Structure 1
Amino acid sequence: MENDDAQCKAGEGGRSFRLRSPSLNSVRLRRIFDIFDKNNDSVITVDELGQALALLGLQTDQAQLDSMVQSYVQPGNTGLSFDDFQALHRSLDDAFFGLADEAAEVDDKQEEYDLTEAFKVFDEDGDGYISAQELQVVLSKLGLQEGTELDRVEMMISSVDKNHDGLVDFLEFKDMMRSVIVPSS
């Protein structure tokens, strides 16, 4: 990801990262919403959200997920509208990264653990590297168009592959994630 798109809020007491453009954040959040909305009915149900998280290898307690999501669903709706999804996103952003005016200090060990777990989602064979094929599998599981085109996946890999070995190692992954983590609204 390009550094032009991201800005580190270092020196402001926190380690959270924010993207510069609110409109870009909204576009990215909309794309995530559309990926999760498998039946294209403009509503994300608890089942659709649970399925998307499971495809990413993230186990969730269905009752807990249902409880969290239902508090954002508007009366009469069967799931989250895009506006509800944005509100849930803002709430999670505030809970994990502090309110915009109160930059929260992220514990280094927790951050390292979270990044390690995220890396494992992509490193399917556990060899310590993310190959284009592994990235393609994850993108395909998410139903992303990029997952069907190996040349586009290879371009994505090369954009963060600092040592030009055709693979993304954990340090390259951390650098990439730290440059684009958590869009704020």
Structure 2
Amino acid sequence: MEIITNEKKKLSRQFSSFRLRSPSLNALRLHRIFDLFDKNRDGFITVEELSQALSRLGLDVDFSELESTVESFIKPEQTGLRFDDFAALHRTLDESFFGVGCECDGSPESDLEEAFNVFDEDGDGFISAVELQNVLKKLGLPEAGEIEQVEKMIVSVDINHDGRVDFFEFKNMMQTVLVPSS
């Protein structure tokens, strides 16, 4: 049992950037992911759409295994996962892989640091246009198409005009974008 707990702690630290601790950030992120996966915009994510999305992210999953895992979350009268079903699947996977206590303090600052680290792929403390483009590509967003467009996104938040986004600029941008829920 201790070996399993240690492995979960290790996974939790290793993949903490995939899991934000703030419920409001998680809900927003999950809605955006759902919308990205729902390619035909019918309000459902089919096993095929989920498989394609995971493949685009570089995660090769056996289709039959994915289907058997997801099937229990799809209601009989539906063609795929509605958002609530997708959220339940996410919670179940989250508990399975990260079920142990979190290593962070749960503060908004800590959540922002985690989010920043997702974009700062090389860990140099800055988000470059290339790093932003890479993340946008992984998410399948059309904004990733042209580096000039990505550079404009960087310029729009680059307060000190050094051509990249530091944590302070990222935090400032996020505070203007995210409105606290009541």
For the residues of structure 1 that align with 2:44 and 2:80, how far apart are their CA atoms? 5
Structure 1 partner of 2:31:
30
Which structure is richer in relative contact order (CA contacts within 8 A, separation 6 or more)? 1
Larger C-alpha radius of gyration, 1 or 2? 2
Structure 2 partner of 1:57:
58
For the residues of structure 2 that align with 1:58 and 1:24, how far apart are their CA atoms? 24
- The match for 1:159 among 148, 162, 165 is 165
CA distance 1:131–1:24, change in 2 (3 Å): closer
**Uncovered stretches (5+) of structure 2, i.e. residues with no partner:** 1-8, 104-117, 168-182
1:12-53, CA deviations, whole angstroms, 9 ceiling, x for partnerless residues? Answer: xx5555645322221111001000101100100011111111
Counterpart amino acid of 1:23?
S
CA distance 1:23–1:56, change in 2 (3 Å): same
**Uncovered stretches (5+) of structure 1, i.e. residues with no partner:** 1-13, 106-118, 124-129, 162-185
RMSD: 3.4
CA distance 1:65–1:140, change in 2 (3 Å): same
Sequence identity, in percent? 54
CA distance 1:23–1:141, change in 2 (3 Å): closer
SS of aligned partner of 2:73: coil
SS of aligned partner of 2:28: helix
- Report which of the two has the higher share of helix: 2
Counterpart amino acid of 1:159?
V
- The match for 2:129 among 122, 132, 153 is 132
Normalising by structure 2, we get a TM-score of 0.56
Runs of 4 or more above 6 Å deviation = 154-157
For the residues of structure 2 that align with 1:19 and 1:138, how far apart are their CA atoms? 16
